[in-house]
Amino acid sequence: MFASLSDRLSATFKSLRGKGRLSEADIETTVSQIRRALLDADVAVPAVRAFTSAVRERASSAEVSQALNPAQQIVKIVNEQLIEILGGESREVRFAKHPPTVIMLAGLQGAGKTTLAGKLGKWLKEEGHTPLLVASDLQRPNAVTQLQVVGGQAGVPVWAPEPGNGVGNPIEVARTGVAHAREKYYDVVVVDTAGRLGVDAELMQQAADIRDAVNPDEILFVVDAMIGQDAVTTAQAFADGVGFTGVVLSKLDGDARGGAALSIRTVTGKPVLFASTGEKLTDFERFHPDRMASRILDMGDVLTLIEQAEKAFDEDQAQEMANKIAGDGDFTLQDFLGYMQQMKQLGSMKKMLGMLPGMGQMREQLENFDEREVVRVEAMVQSMTPGERQNPKIINGSRRSRIAKGSGSTVSEINGLLDRFEQAKTMMRSMARGGMKGGMPGAMG
């Protein structure tokens, strides 16, 4: 996501490098480059306007003229304005003082509500809650079954309509679901509701009736980020028809430009709480404006990376990895393989790599990254002796052909692996030194 915007901003910053001072003309050029980059990213005009005028004003102020390196100051300003436009502080879910907390999902059909209900259920459970999912989407064929499936995957119970508790009546299902939660001490209820393909009055009325029946603590408007600026129009319709307290951006994995993410806060005034980044239950994250801004500026989203890694590695492993990355131990081919295997467990390797700082230039390679590669690397490393894994420098020509034979690969594939291993080692070292300590590697080159 945000690939083109990242590239455009980074080109803008590059053109400022080496300038000792920014003239009025430099600032104007910079601002107009940023404006065009945002418009091309499908950001809504009011959001673009707010963004560029803030950048212009701050760039012209004493803040910059005093600075040693104006280009860095511009990066800082753009970073801060991106955080601002994405919503500033991360917003927590507001849990009710007296459980159950009721979270209602609203949005168009296909927006990703049912999938999100499963993801939310899983997340809530991991956070120590006892959630209940309620199937109030009786419009879309299969929506109830689909919720039961994702609930099953998440290990979260589902309240579905049965004779006696509201067959055919989504409002009744929602009401009895919440009553059931109260009785059985579920502390959070997630109510899935129906959406039509377009905004219509009947849909709005039904959502409003469910809202009135269950009095939600949060109404989350789920919107498909792939529809770009149209997300904003839909959001306005839901704001008028039902009202909502927060937004969930779904299919962010498919939103190459980022228009929805960058517009929705300015236009609706409501915070984004979560992002959905794929079809699997694990493709889900809390939305942190600061981390998202770092990703856009290609500073890498080290915090999210670390959080995700913590889920896959146990603490000792995590510590060991941190030490190795920092150069406090030898990072061997065996480790390289181990990390690749563990990363693979996390889901998409691409996504993980994309979060590393300075990966902007490697984006093309990432797009072509093949997860089966892990299997090939596995075969190659397993054909090496322990000594070779420990110290790849000893792998000479005859060892290379032996390993190639043993793993069913070619010598040039072995060469490729060894090159990539060296690159990864260097990259991890420099990341540990600069990137993780809050520097701005990628953006400034």
Task: Please count the other Cβ atoms lying within 10 Å of the Cβ belonging to residue 422.
Answer: 12
- DSSP element (H, E) containing 101: strand 101-106
Q: Rule CB under 6 A: which of 188-207 touch ligand GDP?
A: 195
Q: Rule CB under 6 A: say whether 251 interacts with ligand GDP.
A: yes
One symbol per residue from 200 to 239: x for binding ligand GDP (CB under 6 A), - otherwise; what is it?
Answer: ----------------------------------------
Residue 253 CB, shortest distance to ligand GDP, in Å, is 5
How far apart CA 217 and CA 91 sit, in angstroms, is 14
Q: Rule CB under 6 A: say whether 276 interacts with ligand GDP.
A: yes
Among 217, 253, 255, 298, binds ligand GDP (CB under 6 A): 253
Which stretches does DSSP call E strand in 123-224? 131-136, 158-159, 188-193, 218-224
Among 6, 79, 114, 332, binds ligand GDP (CB under 6 A): 114
Structure-block tokens of residue 284: 């889900």
Q: Rule CB under 6 A: say whether 52 interacts with ligand GDP.
A: no
How far apart CA 334 and CA 309 sit, in angstroms, is 18
Instruction: CB nearer to ligand GDP: give 158 or 404.
Output: 158
Residue 351 CB, shortest distance to ligand GDP, in Å, is 11
Q: Which residues pair with 223 in a beta bridge?
A: 249
Residue 252 and residue 277 in contact, taking contact as beta carbons nearer than 8 Å: yes
- DSSP state, 196? -
Residue 288 and residue 305 in contact, taking contact as beta carbons nearer than 8 Å: no
Instruction: CB nearer to ligand GDP: give 77 or 173.
Output: 173
Instruction: Classify strands 218-224 and 272-276 as parallel, antiparallel or unpaired.
Output: unpaired
Type of residue found at 399: R
Instruction: CB nearer to ligand GDP: give 75 or 116.
Output: 116
Q: Rule CB under 6 A: say whether 258 interacts with ligand GDP.
A: no
Q: Rule CB under 6 A: say whether 112 interacts with ligand GDP.
A: yes
Instruction: CB nearer to ligand GDP: give 3 or 321.
Output: 3
Q: Rule CB under 6 A: say whether 351 interacts with ligand GDP.
A: no
Binding site annotation covers 112? yes
Q: Which residues pair with 157 in a beta bridge?
A: none
How far apart CA 296 and CA 418 sit, in angstroms, is 31
Residues within the annotated binding site?
A: 107-114, 192-196, 250-253
Which residues contact ligand GDP by CB under 6 A? 107, 109-115, 140, 195, 250-251, 253-254, 276-279, 283
Residues within the annotated binding site for GTP?
A: 107-114, 192-196, 250-253
